[in-house]
Amino acid sequence: MIIAMAKLMRVYAAVFLEMLEELDYVLVMTGELDSTKHIFQPETVEKIKTIHRNLPDLPIVCEVGITPETIKLVADAGASRVVVGGYLFKNEQEIVGAIESLR
């Protein structure tokens, strides 16, 4: 069984570092879920860097506000995967094009 933990935006990365060693991956929420706009919060990039620096082999997944611009920020910080929702469905006619723009 794969075990993961969501790291919410408002929680400090250092709090999780000991627990993260036991996990298969960590999900970093890069924005607040209670927001209907799901806006990317740039301060989460430092949290991703901290996790990656301390546990470089732990896969980091990012979710909330992922766009072609923010995907580069989280990837450069150490994220290896993203979950994308809103960006893909802004124009349902162009989902394939939206996916390509993220690569």
Answer whether 4's CB lies under 8 Å from 25's CB.
yes
How many domains, in total, are found in the chain? 1
Please give the Cα distance from 27 to 2 (Å, whole number). 13
Tokens of 59: 């896969």
Q: Summarize pLDDT for 1-25 with one digit per residue, the tens.
A: 455 556 554 555 566 667 767 778 8
Please give the Cα distance from 63 to 56 (Å, whole number). 19
Residue with tokens 């209670």: 34
Global pTM?
0.80
Q: What CATH number is attached to the domain comprising 23? A: 3.20.20.70
Domain encompassing residue 95: 4-102
Q: Summarize pLDDT for 49-95 with one digit per residue, the tens.
A: 988 998 899 999 999 999 999 999 999 999 999 999 888 887 677 88
